[in-house]
Amino acid sequence: MSRLLGRWEYNYTVLLITWMGWISIYLARSVLPPVLPVLSTELGLTHAQAGLLETAYLIGYIISKLPAGDLSNRYGARRVLAASMVGYGASTLLITGARGFLDIFVLRFLVGLFQGVHLPVSNALLSDRFRGKQARAIGFNESGPNIGNTLAFPITVTIMEALGWRYAFLFLSIPAFLLSLGTMILMKEEPERETEPRQGPKPSLGYYKRILIPFALSHAAYNLILRTTFTFTPSFLVEFRGMNIALAGLISTVLPFAGIFTKMGSGFIMERVGSKQAILVASSLSAVLLSALVIFPGGWLTLNLLALGLTLYSFSPIIYAGTTSSLPRELKALGLGVVTIFGNIVGAVSTTAVGLAIDSRGYVFTFIAIAGVTLVSAFIIQISMKEDGRDIVL
């Protein structure tokens, strides 16, 4: 009994480190959106260039996804996670000395490159450790980004107003270095486990494509709205709603704040209604609520953003848990990397496209168009995915 208790105590230590890793990641990552209105004015950036900064981040984020699993298998999850924290912390810190668009573009690429390994490595690790309770563990773990995002916005605005936008990058890079040290101290190297013997040839990732494709499409729909709201909500509130920068930064935290609670409960949602229904409802409601921001620009803004946060953030942990639970141990990180790469490619392309659309057509057209595309994706998922998420008709 004591041995079992000790094993579970360490499992929760791992969960705590990966969860804090997400918070650290989003403290560093979420500095940019609140400072964009000031930074764009100082450096003369267009909305399209602002979108390119998020695209740069996502390009790096995508590149590191596929080798993440191999790096973890070769050097250990502990070393890979700790090294990534040092990498994105240093890249964020260096933005304090940026002198133009190109400097920030390159450094945001490096931030994404180092942060990209965390999702497949941490979720594969949790899936392997928590097994039957992995949906709950991954759901809790995925609340970390929302906590980091929620904290980053008001902290960034406070630092920016007191010291300037460059100091915001400096101070919010510090948690990454501290957590890297904590990871090396508290985490252990994962023991190698024997895989169960198989009859016939060992299946490759292609063997599971009927599972991965609909989850990848779901992740793409999620990223389309997520990247739009993450990058442009503060600018939308300043330019479309006429708010000042401080109030816009504060109101923007409603989205990630709502996501904290819905992510923690997403594992229970998946167990009750299944991954298909949870994904369909969340994506459809997110599309409707995004369009409502520009169709009904009255006094329901905060409630609208709260509802959007609750629906938007609810289904990403379900996608991750559904993917990892369907794959053997040696393919979990790689399969999750493939699913998230597709979504991140859509996110990388969409941020620039959304910026261009805002420049040329405005917020009303752009948000309604995104909602329409998301609803079409929901329809495709409806007709292609069976209820249990494992038998896909292509």
CA 38 vs CA 8, 158, 235, 249: distances in Å: 47, 13, 10, 12
Name the residue type at position 288: V
Question: How much is the pLDDT for 84?
Answer: 95
DSSP assignment of 89-150: HHHHHHGGG--SHHHHHHHHHHHHHHHTTHHHHHHHHHHHHHGGGHHHHHHHHTHHHHHHHH
User: How far is residue 253's CA from residue 184's CA, in Å, rounded to a whole number?
Assistant: 32
Q: At what angle do helices 316-325 and 118-130 cross, to 10 degrees?
A: 60
pLDDT in the model for residue 132: 67
Assess contact for 176 and 85: CB atoms under 8 A: yes
Tabulate helix, strand, coil % of the chain (nearest 5): 85, 0, 15
Burial class (CB in 10 A: 0-12, 13-18, 19+), 240: middle
Q: What angle do CA 378, 348, 111 make, to 5 degrees?
A: 130
SS3 call for 392: strand
Distance CA 261, CA 163 (A): 32
Helical residues (DSSP H) of 253-331, grouped into ranges: 254-264, 266-273, 275-295, 301-312, 316-325
- Long-range CB contacts for residues 353-356, cutoff 8 Å, separation at least 24: 353/51, 354/51, 354/227, 354/228, 354/231, 354/232, 355/46, 355/47, 355/48, 355/49, 355/50, 355/51, 355/52, 355/231, 355/232, 356/47, 356/48, 356/51
pLDDT, residue 271, reads: 66
- What pLDDT does residue 111 have? 95
Confidence (pLDDT) at 6: 46
pLDDT of residue 390: 42
Q: How confident is the model at residue 201, as a pLDDT?
A: 55
Residue at 110: amino acid letter:
L
Q: What domain count does the chain have?
A: 1
**392 bridge partner residues:** 385
In a domain, 390, yes or no: no
Domain ranges, residue 14:
2-190+206-384
Q: Determine contact, residues 262/147, Cβ cutoff 8 Å.
A: no
**Can you tell me the distance from the alpha carbon of 329 to that of 38, in angstroms, rounded to the nearest whole number?**
46
Domain of 31, CATH number, reads 1.20.1250.20
The count of C-alpha atoms lying within 13 angstroms of the C-alpha of 138, restricted to the half-sphere facing its C-beta, is: 35
- Which pLDDT score, from 0 to 100, does residue 337 have? 79
Residue 263 maps to a domain: yes
Residue 257 domain flag: yes
Specify the pLDDT at position 191: 67
Q: Which two tokens stand for residue 313?
A: 């953030």
Measured in degrees and rounded to the nearest 5, phi and psi for residue 131 equal 45, -110
Q: Is residue 197 part of a domain?
A: no
* 195 lies in some domain: no
Say what the pTM is.
0.71
- Looking at the DSSP bridge assignments, the partners of residue 385 are 392
Q: For 283, how many CA atoms within 13 A lie in the half-sphere containing its CB?
A: 30
CB 15 within 8 A of CB 77: no
Q: How far is CA 27 from the centre of its chain?
A: 12
Question: Which residue in 340, 285, 350, 348 sits closest to 316, CA to CA?
Answer: 340
User: Are residues 232 and 280 in contact, defined by beta-carbon separation less than 8 angstroms?
Assistant: no
| CB-based burial, 66-88: b 16+ in 10 Å, e otherwise | ebbbebbbeebbbbbbbbbbebb
Per-residue pLDDT of the chain (394 residues; tens, 9 = 90+): 344 344 557 888 889 999 999 999 999 988 888 888 888 888 887 777 877 888 888 889 888 887 887 788 788 888 999 999 999 999 999 999 888 888 999 999 999 999 989 988 888 888 777 776 777 788 888 888 888 888 888 899 899 989 988 999 999 999 999 999 999 998 887 766 544 555 555 667 677 777 788 888 888 888 888 888 877 888 888 888 888 877 887 788 888 888 887 877 776 676 677 777 788 888 889 999 999 988 886 668 888 988 998 888 887 878 887 777 777 777 777 777 788 888 878 877 887 788 889 889 999 999 999 999 999 988 887 777 765 544 433 3
